[in-house]
Structure 1
């Protein structure tokens, strides 16, 4: 059976935090949750852009409850500040959607001196989750949904000896490893939640090939090529958000599942959201635990599970 946004149960009374939600997949996710009655927090780097996004959501869903919080996932100081504000005002958090990310960017570092794709795509969300999750653990049906990508399959493992890419830097290779980290984190978090007897679930999702602004970091020639082929192979942003929305709201979801388009003939690039398989590398328990330990060390964030 095909699952669509119409299959989402009511989200009234629920609070959702969505990172990178002023545009693209994050905006589509936040809009759909607000339309179903959730109170949605847009956690974004540019507050002005977030305010405009909030107004667009209110226009589409009159009465929608939207708040905008400044969050720069490339700055631990910003993450700590945003998390403190969110927790203080929202003692109950039902959904945390770790959606924001960058892709295939030139070599650079965060303000904390960490390689940018590693720092923003993984470490930033690791820290944010660790700082917010205490407000989720006792909430029935609460979920952490971390958005990965098909590109995680390109990574055979994690190069723990060169996480900062000091010896070499290949943008797409680094991106694919950061997306593998998203799934390693998801699975390790669920193991810890199970051991703690928490009510929260940790789930991963990917959008397939969906129109978004994620490729804005690509070289100009690649952006032009993507623009040319987008109508042929990319699904819409609203469809690309469906795996995340199903992972966040479907009552049949279980912890450590991975949702994506089920298109058999499209190799997972398009289709209705369903449980799909992540790569063999994502199930490496040694790497799951090692990545967790490194992430705690680099962020200073220790989870209460």
Structure 2
């Protein structure tokens, strides 16, 4: 599918699934902006993309999701945007920093990007969650941060109509496939498919969720039913209001 003339921002695009999202979007002819803290890693990622996609239109945006006060300036460096893929995430021992990076940073970034996205013909916010985010168990700080990110995507769809807000998850994605995990899981390139489809597919609607079609673990993307904690509108509203209180901004 061609996306010539469009501009997409992918957070955490220098490695992992984010890299493959950026590479696959670059193959559509779009301009792809790699949001990353490290210019060195972003340069390496862009060189790799250009080796796979000759003539790829890629560039770097200095972006630190853990530094909420820096995000307004980062967003101000862009003059147009058709979609942002909120992909970046960390898994670390510091629960507060993990929640800030995985959820609050994207909450703030989308707030500052909203004027550009609303001005686009079909502006989209694509939020990448995880399987663990579907049902949070006590003490799982990583799952809590990813669930908050997913609930944000659903609540954004309910609170505004200026842009399309789509949630996705990569299923079970490994850096390298080994038996017997390969029977159920897939590589990072395949894990990028739901996010890429969420950016490009004109038939996907705001508030929907995409994930791999085989048990939610592997395969081509499909629309998934939103169930359980992710369907709890009161919980999503509470996460939203708490995020507004913590950051002082509101994406809608």
TM-score surpassing 0.5?
yes
CA shift for structure 1 position 302: 2.6
Q: Tell me, yes or no, if the aligned pair for 1:25 and 1:212 is still in contact at 8 Å.
A: no
More strand by share: 2
**CA distance in 1: counterparts of 2:133 and 2:250, whole angstroms:** 25
Instruction: Tell me the equivalent position of 1:123.
Output: 104
Instruction: Tell me the equivalent position of 2:168.
Output: 205
SS state of the match for residue 77, structure 2?
helix
- Larger of the two Rg values belongs to structure: 1
**CA distance in 2: counterparts of 1:148 and 1:129, whole angstroms:** 16
CA shift for structure 1 position 10: 0.7
CA shift for structure 1 position 79: 2.0
Instruction: Tell me the equivalent position of 1:275.
Output: 223
CA shift for structure 1 position 205: 0.3
More divergent stretch after superposition (30-39 vs 290-299)? 290-299
Q: Tell me, yes or no, if the aligned pair for 1:24 and 1:211 is still in contact at 8 Å.
A: no
Instruction: Tell me the equivalent position of 1:239.
Output: 190
Query: Is it true that 1:35 corresponds to 2:27 in the alignment?
Result: yes
**CA distance in 1: counterparts of 2:83 and 2:240, whole angstroms:** 21
SS state of the match for residue 219, structure 2?
coil
Structure ranking higher on relative contact order (CA contacts 8 Å, 6+ apart): 1
Structure 1 pair 278–152 and aligned structure 2 pair: CA distance change class (3 A): farther
Query: Is it true that 1:97 corresponds to 2:60 in the alignment?
Result: no
**CA distance in 1: counterparts of 2:192 and 2:175, whole angstroms:** 10
Structure 1 pair 33–132 and aligned structure 2 pair: CA distance change class (3 A): same
Q: How does 1:172-187 map to 2 (within 5 A)?
A: 173-187=140-154
Q: How does 1:1-305 map to 2 (within 5 A)?
A: 9-86=1-78, 90=79, 92-103=80-91, 105-106=92-93, 108=94, 115-155=96-136, 170=139, 173-194=140-161, 198=162, 200-212=163-175, 230-263=181-214, 267-303=215-251, 305=252
**CA distance in 1: counterparts of 2:173 and 2:17, whole angstroms:** 8
Instruction: Tell me the equivalent position of 1:161.
Output: none
In structure 2, stretches of 5+ residues that fail to align are none
CA shift for structure 1 position 230: 4.7
SS state of the match for residue 84, structure 2?
strand
In structure 1, stretches of 5+ residues that fail to align are 1-8, 110-114, 157-168, 214-225
**CA distance in 2: counterparts of 1:72 and 1:232, whole angstroms:** 36
